[in-house]
Structures are given as C-alpha cells and as structure tokens.
Amino acid sequence: MEQQISFGIKSLSSFFKKKSYSSVFVLVDENTKRYCHPLLKNVLPTHQLIIVRSGEANKTILTCEAIWSKMLKNKADRNSLLVNLGGGVITDMGGFCASVFMRGIDFLNVPTSLMAMADAAIGGKTAIDFLSYKNTLGGFKAPVLICIDTVFLTTLPTRELNSGAAEVFKHALLQGKRETSQFLLKTFLSFSEQERQTLIKKSVRYKLKVVMLDPFESNLRKQLNLGHTIGHAIESFFLLQKKTILHGEAVALGLVAEAFLAYRFFKLPFESFLRIVFWYDLNFVKPNLKALDFNVLMKIMQKDKKNTKAQIKLVLLEREGHVLLDSQITKSQLLEGMAFLQAF
Ligand SMILES: NC(=O)c1ccc[n+]([C@@H]2O[C@H](COP(=O)([O-])OP(=O)(O)OC[C@H]3O[C@@H](n4cnc5c(N)ncnc54)[C@H](O)[C@@H]3O)[C@@H](O)[C@H]2O)c1
Ligand SMILES: [Zn+2]
C-alpha cells in the first residue's frame, strides 16, 4: 500500500497542479471549519465544504449518509476528490465515505490534531463506529496524499495535544532509547515549533515504514498496538461508566501498565520501566482509577479474538526499540498490572 506524504500545506499547490479532479469536497467539523479551513482554503482549488458535528459520537453511518447526500446533491462523481481536514474522527470517517462512494474515489488527508498527524491519518485504515462499537465498519484504503502541517496545532486544545503525544511517545519507544530520551526532558507542549516538527516527522516516518512492511497487520504492524490492549480496555471501561477519557490518555496508562508487566514478568530493564513512568508523570494528571473494575476490564480484553479466558496476548517491550509480539500473560499477572496502575 503506497502512501504519499508531504509536509507543509504549501506543498499542496504542486499536488493540485498535477491532478485534475471534476470536483473537490472538503470535510470538516465545526472546529476545523473555524480554525483550519481559513489556513488551507487558498491552497485548494474551488471546493465545497461538508460540515459535520465534531466528536467520536458522530463517527457513525448517519453522518456518512449526510456526507454522501451532500456529495450527490453537489454532483460528485467518480473523478471527485474528498479532502479530510480534521482530527482522527474526520480522517477515519472521510476515508471510509470516500472508499465506498461510487466504488471508491480519491481522498486526501490533512490531519489537524496531533493524534491524526502521528497516527490516524497514516496507514490506510478507515473506519466508523457501529452500534456503539468502535471502528466496526471500515477497510484498508490509502489516501492519495497525507499533508502534514504543524501550524494547525496552535489552536488544538492542550488536552488533545497531550493525548496525541502518547502515540508519538509510543512510536519513540518502538524505535529505541535515543528517541525516547527527548521526551523525558520536556512536555510536548513546551517543545519549540522546530522540535515538534522534527519529532512528528520521525514519528510519521516510523509508522509509515511499519505499515509499508505489513499493511494488513499480519505480523509486524501489531507492534503499533503497544499500550493499546490495556489502554483500550480502560477507554471502554470509562465509556461504560459515562466518564470521559481521551484515547491517548488511556493509551498512556496502557503504556505504563504494560511496561510494568514487561519488567515484572519479562525482560524489560527496570530503568526503562522507570523512564516510562517518569514520562507519564511529566505529561499527564492521573485520573482517579479507584473504581476500575478488574473483572469488567478482563471481559473487555477477552473479547479480542486472540485471547482466551485464561490468557491475554499483549505486545510487550523487551527493551526500548524491541518488542515481543503476542506475549502471553495470565489473568493473575494482569491483575498485578492493574493493581500497579491504581497504586503508582
Ligand atoms: N485509522 C487509524 O489508524 C487510527 C489511529 C488512531 C486513532 N484513530 C481514530 O482517531 C480518532 C481520534 O482522533 P482525534 O483525537 O484527532 O479526535 P477528533 O477528530 O475528535 O479531534 C479531537 C478534537 O479536536 C478538534 N480539533 C481537531 N483539530 C483541531 C485544531 N487544529 N484546532 C482546534 N480544534 C481541533 C476536533 O474538532 C475535536 O473536537 C478516533 O476515532 C480513533 O479511533 C484512528
Ligand atoms: Zn491509538
């Protein structure tokens, strides 16, 4: 799955010089319409805006119907282009809409949140939620281009920025100590524009490399799930309790808990485990986890088809820069990890 990437919105002019689309549609939510579209509109050819409501709750088939209707009403055809200008909700849902509209039209991702720049907009996974289950409908389809510009981050709320930084740190952990060291000096917010650009570029290139080697997640791509088995269970648990936690905030907790398991039951050096805990403390305010119900968390993790009642398979760090895919953990070991999460 070839994935083209460019840095800086100005690079879009050369893309559009080479292409001729019958019409161009730009998908935004109310925030990216307000803050991001004004920065982008002059580098795009004549286009029509499709505005949807922001938030995961709107990543549904209902919103897709509204998108497709608007496109049809405005004479979209097989040679139209959809530009997804937004966070991961917009890039996931826009990619999905484009991939099935008239058997698939081109789409271009312009990620505006850190989560989308470092993760969601890259890799060719498209998705919407269905019956409240996350990412149940979707497929693999690469955008014709991913255009990344950190200028958009200036209006992104700090909490969203930190959430995205968890994925950037995850990519650093997968690469090695040299990459993770930088994250122990400062919070993502306090990095200069130049430093942010460099970190994001490295992160993006790393994800792209992994995705190109294993586009359909048969093996190597599984490493990108580091921190996500436990993180995802925490995210779902919070949702069930009607409490909010951002995806990256849950992943950050997942990285800590999984680092504990990797140190306690596998070979992760104590120093690396401490570095991960230190990174968490530097960047996040720990939510109250006293009410975490281990049985519910276990049930959520067992739903994953790789896992059985007695054992859960995780991606665990052996050292910074090296993971063990499919590490088996027993229920009691996992409970120890959860208990650590409550206590640290
Ligand atoms: N496809 C993948 O590989 C992949 C990977 C990771 C996450 N995801 C998906 O991404 C989604 C989460 O992405 P997200 O965290 O970007 O959420 P999001 O799209 O909801 O964006 C977060 C919030 O920030 C606002 N926003 C975005 N950019 C802004 C900007 N520049 N200025 C001001 N406000 C801005 C949005 O309107 C929204 O309110 C989830 O649905 C998740 O499943 C997909
Ligand atoms: Zn993630």
pLDDT in tens, 92-149: 999 999 999 999 999 999 999 999 999 999 999 999 999 877 888 999 999 999 999 9
* Listed range (306-310, 320-324, 327-331) with the worst mean pLDDT: 306-310
Q: Look at the block and give the residue holding tokens 């997968």.
A: 174
Tally of structural domains, the chain: 2
CA-nearest of 92, 109, 245, 255 to 171 is 255
Query: Which atom number of ligand 1 is nearest to the Cα of residue 163?
Result: 15
326, burial (CB in 10 Å: exposed 0-12, middle 13-18, buried 19+)? exposed
What is the whole-number distance in angstroms between the Cα of residue 111 and the centre of ligand 1? 8
Whether 207 sits among the annotated catalytic residues: the reply is yes
Residues 109 and 164 in one domain: no
The CATH code of the domain that includes 328 is 1.20.1090.10
Backbone phi and psi for residue 52, each to the nearest 5 degrees, phi listed first: -120, 165
pLDDT of 145: 97
Per-residue pLDDT, averaged over 329-334, amounts to 91
CA-nearest of 113, 107, 71 to 88 is 113
Residues 6+ apart with CB under 8 A from 243: none
Residues 148 and 170 in one domain: no
pLDDT of 333: 93
Pairing of strands 322-330, 311-319: antiparallel
Residues 201 and 60 in one domain: no
Please pick, among 103, 242, 290, 305, the residue that the annotation labels catalytic.
Answer: 103
Whether 167 sits among the annotated catalytic residues: the reply is yes
The CATH code of the domain that includes 50 is 3.40.50.1970
Residues 150 and 166 in one domain: no
pLDDT of 109: 98
DSSP assignment string, 30-70: HHHHHHTHHHHGGGS-S-EEEEE--SGGG-SHHHHHHHHHH
- For the chain, the average pLDDT equals 94
Predicted confidence band at 312 (pLDDT cuts at 50, 70, 90)?
A: confident
Residue 305 has pLDDT above 70, yes or no: no
Q: Which two tokens stand for residue 125?
A: 């996974």
Are the beta carbons of 114 and 161 closer than 8 angstroms? Answer: yes
Whether 247 sits among the annotated catalytic residues: the reply is yes
pLDDT of 24: 98
Predicted confidence band at 4 (pLDDT cuts at 50, 70, 90)?
A: very high
Please pick, among 59, 125, 171, 275, the residue that the annotation labels catalytic.
Answer: 125
259, amino acid identity: A
pLDDT of 3: 84
Residues 6+ apart with CB under 8 A from 153: 113, 114, 117, 161, 196
Q: Which of 125, 155, 185 is the last residue before a domain boundary?
A: 155
Query: Which atom number of ligand 1 is nearest to the Cα of residue 35?
Result: 32
Residues 320 and 202 in one domain: yes
pLDDT of 243: 85
pLDDT of 146: 97
Residue 184 has pLDDT above 70, yes or no: yes
Residue 310 has pLDDT above 80, yes or no: no
Predicted confidence band at 306 (pLDDT cuts at 50, 70, 90)?
A: low
294, burial (CB in 10 Å: exposed 0-12, middle 13-18, buried 19+)? middle
Q: In which domain, by residue range, is 144 found?
A: 5-155
pLDDT of 314: 93
pLDDT of 241: 85
Q: Which of 104, 128, 155 is the last residue before a domain boundary?
A: 155
Strand (E) or helix (H) holding 283:
helix 270-283
Backbone phi and psi for residue 131, each to the nearest 5 degrees, phi listed first: 50, 40
Per-residue pLDDT, averaged over 314-326, amounts to 95
Residues 214 and 127 in one domain: no
Q: How many Cβ atoms sit within 10 Å of the Cβ of residue 328?
A: 15
pLDDT of 92: 98
What is the whole-number distance in angstroms between the Cα of residue 162 and the centre of ligand 1? 12
Q: Which two tokens stand for residue 247?
A: 């995806």
Residue with more model confidence, 216 or 252:
252
Q: Look at the block and give the residue holding tokens 């255009």.
A: 147
Q: How many Cβ atoms sit within 10 Å of the Cβ of residue 309?
A: 9
Residues 172 and 301 in one domain: yes
The structure's pTM equals 0.95
Secondary structure (3-state) at 183: helix
Distance from C-alpha of 294 to C-alpha of 300, rounded to nearest angstrom: 10
Interval 57-103: pLDDT, tens? 999 999 999 999 999 999 999 999 999 999 999 999 999 999 999 99
Rg (CA), the chain: 20
Residue 292 has pLDDT above 90, yes or no: no
Residues 226 and 337 in one domain: yes
Residues 180 and 290 in one domain: yes
CA-nearest of 82, 25, 24, 89 to 53 is 89
Share of the chain above pLDDT 90, in %: 83
